[in-house]
Structure 1
């Protein structure tokens, strides 16, 4: 079972991918890239979103609602050296869908096929990531057939509609049904993959080649190794400890500082701090899983300490406060 990490805007940047890489996913993706900005060679897009040391193990995802921009963008990504290029047909955010991009592409089968036709001979592996519905569209099967027709690298299905955004629960019955349809390409599942035990339950009835972890790895890169261990051996050997968590957070902060400077480092690490540490202050969280993934450590004052660290704007003091947790 392959384990990929998803492209997530504002999350899977160069700094966090260096952390994720330590936990040995089979493949990683950069943040998703705007086709329009890519074709204009926007500095942030080219120099920051696409920063990558190892394109053999890192792909990228493109979004857009214009055929020519998508085609041109895909060829540009290939010229940048990326060999796995995913077309985003899943993003539910209104600011994306209002321009016909993201999950709005589900209603535009003809445009998607035109893009695949024009890129079918490219020296790169093209894939699709879709949701199961958008407005009146409730026929994801046609994109599995399209992926088969053009012999794509893989298709990934997130078991939510656009309207659900990230609320409710992902419909793994639809993922199961689609995964069992005839195909000549790899099939990945996605959606609500937060815990190794629950992941095994969700995928046990599916015919999958892999899964793509997304929100579950924010502040929890241990999920990659733990899921692989549980799926392969039925037990988990890699336990997240409090001291290791502090070490990873400090390394993550250092990565951001090296990549983007002190000011951005102080701000950007904040979105990760609660996810990294919440398991150690939510006492009952460690008891909900059927398996042990986190050491038995609890500090009822930890949330308050983390909130103070988030407010701290001087990097050396922030580092000191993290070390003193």
Structure 2
């Protein structure tokens, strides 16, 4: 069972991917890349979003609603050295779909096929990531047929419709149904993969080649190792400790400082602080079960401490307060 990490705007930047690499996913993706900005050679897109040390282990995802922009952008990504390029057909955000991109591509089968036909021999591994539905479109099977027709690297389905955004629950029955259709391409599932036990339950009776972890790894890269371990052995040996969490947060913060400077780092680390530490103030977690994912540590005042660190504007004070937790 392969474990990939998803492309997430504002999350899977170079600094966080350096953290994720330590937990050995089978493959990583950069942030989503806007085809229009890429074709205009936007500095931020090329120098920040696409910053990458190892393009053999890191791919990228492109989004757009224009046929020519998508084709040109994919060719640029290939020329930049990326060997795995994913076409985003799942993003539910209104600002994305209003331009015909993301999950809006689900209703534009002909455009998608034109793009795949044009790029099928460029020498890169092309894949698509879709949602289960978009408005009146409720036929994801046709994109599995398309993936087979053009021998795509893989197809990934997120078991929500565009309308659901990230609310409700992902429908893993749809994922299971599609995964068991005969195919010539790899099939990945995605959606609501937050804990090793629930991951195992969701993928039971599916014919998956892998899963793609997304929101579940924000502040919890341990999920990569724990999910792999639990799927193989039914046990978890590598638990998350409080001291290890502090150390990783400091490393993540220093990565951002190095790559984006102190001013951005002070702000950008904030989105990760609660996710990194929240398990240690959640009194409802079972820390003593056979499949515990964290050490038996609990601090009821930790949330208040983290909120104060989030408000801290100085980089040295921020580092010092994290060290003192």
**TM-score calculated relative to the size of structure 1:** 0.99
In the aligned structure 1, how far is the partner of 2:56 from the partner of 2:291?
A: 34
Distance 1:288 1:116, change over 3 A: farther
Deviation of the 1:286 alpha carbon: 3.6
CA RMSD of aligned residues (A): 0.9
Deviation of the 1:205 alpha carbon: 1.1
Deviation of the 1:39 alpha carbon: 0.2
Alignment of 1:35-46 (within 5 A): 35-46=35-46
In the aligned structure 1, how far is the partner of 2:102 from the partner of 2:122?
A: 22
Distance 1:181 1:322, change over 3 A: same
Matching residue of 1:172: 172
Uncovered stretches (5+) of structure 1, i.e. residues with no partner: none
Matching residue of 2:275: 275
1:285 aligned counterpart, secondary structure: coil
Matching residue of 2:217: 217
List per-residue Cα deviations over 1:114-141 (Å, max 9, x = no partner): 0000001011000000001000000000
In the aligned structure 2, how far is the partner of 1:195 from the partner of 1:74?
A: 34
In the aligned structure 2, how far is the partner of 1:296 from the partner of 1:268?
A: 29
List per-residue Cα deviations over 1:8-45 (Å, max 9, x = no partner): 00000000000000000000000000000000000000
Alignment of 1:93-242 (within 5 A): 93-242=93-242
Distance 1:107 1:289, change over 3 A: farther
Deviation of the 1:287 alpha carbon: 5.4
Runs of 4+ in 1 over 3 A off after TM superposition: 286-290
Matching residue of 1:296: 296
Distance 1:290 1:160, change over 3 A: farther
Matched, 1:260 2:275: no
- Kept in 2, the 8 Å contact 1:256–1:264? The answer is yes
Number of aligned positions between the proteins: 325
2:7 aligned counterpart, secondary structure: coil
In the aligned structure 2, how far is the partner of 1:181 from the partner of 1:255?
A: 43
- Kept in 2, the 8 Å contact 1:7–1:29? The answer is yes
Deviation of the 1:289 alpha carbon: 7.5
- Kept in 1, the 8 Å contact 2:155–2:188? The answer is yes
In the aligned structure 2, how far is the partner of 1:69 from the partner of 1:274?
A: 38
- Kept in 1, the 8 Å contact 2:59–2:85? The answer is yes
